[in-house]
Amino acid sequence: MTDLPPLPALPVSRIVLWRHGRTEWNVTGRFQGQLDPPLDEVGRAEIARSAPLLAAGLPRGGTVVLSSDLQRAIDTATALTHILGIHLLPEPRLREHGMGSWEGLTRDEVAARFPDQYAAWLAGQPVVDRGGEDPAAVGERAVAALADLPAAEVAVVVTHGGTAGRLMERLLGLHPSQRRLFAPLANCAWSELVVQGNRWRLRRHNLAPFPDAVEPGESAVAPETDADAVA
């Protein structure tokens, strides 16, 4: 049992969560939050490989694509909507988890400046006095964005590592103590959730044509380096 409020009715029965392509900040372990560094060359190559594969499994005429309005997500989503021939729905409620005073800092810089906060974050515990957003609020705003969608067979949600994690946890009814039960989405990877009975079920997780599809040394960034993957 959890003490979470009930989910609102959603107008879709299948959701694909797709994380944006790589940025230089992902590589250097810098917290992006709601700042907006651009995709790097590898990130754009990831999108070019992933979008056709993802599109092949989506119904034409029955798919909506909505995206965080941060540019790294918009650029990722546009590659898919171009293939599908549909309009993109920009959605600010899908922005990354606001990280307050950590945004723009590397993991090492946060550990040096805010050691107690960093230790709590590594342990998956609430981070006090950082500013930004409460994790539960991130999941709630993302669910609210889905509730406002037009009816469709599938919704592709193009978002960020932290927001994708909080949304997945909210849909699956996981308690805050169960955060990080699943490995975080890699850059340009996606997960699929479907309705089964009266509950959401995780059908596939962290799919992508990587790491074999990229050059040695340019594979998906490991969670130990990628700050936003486990926000």
Residues classed as catalytic: 20, 96
Within 60-174, strands assigned E span 63-67, 88-90, 154-159
Task: Provide the Cα torsion 22, 24, 26, 30; round to 10°.
Answer: -160
Residue 128: how many other CB atoms lie within 10 Å: 9
Nearest Cα to 6, choosing from 171, 192, 180? 171
Amino acid at 201: R
Contact of 137 with 162, CB cutoff 8 Å? no
C-alpha–C-alpha distance, residues 46 and 192, integer Å: 19
Q: Give buried/exposed letters for 188-203 (b at 16+ CB in 10 A, else e).
A: bbbbbbbeeeeebeee
Tokens of residue 28, six digits:
């250097």
Half-sphere exposure of 8 (CA within 13 A, CB side): 13
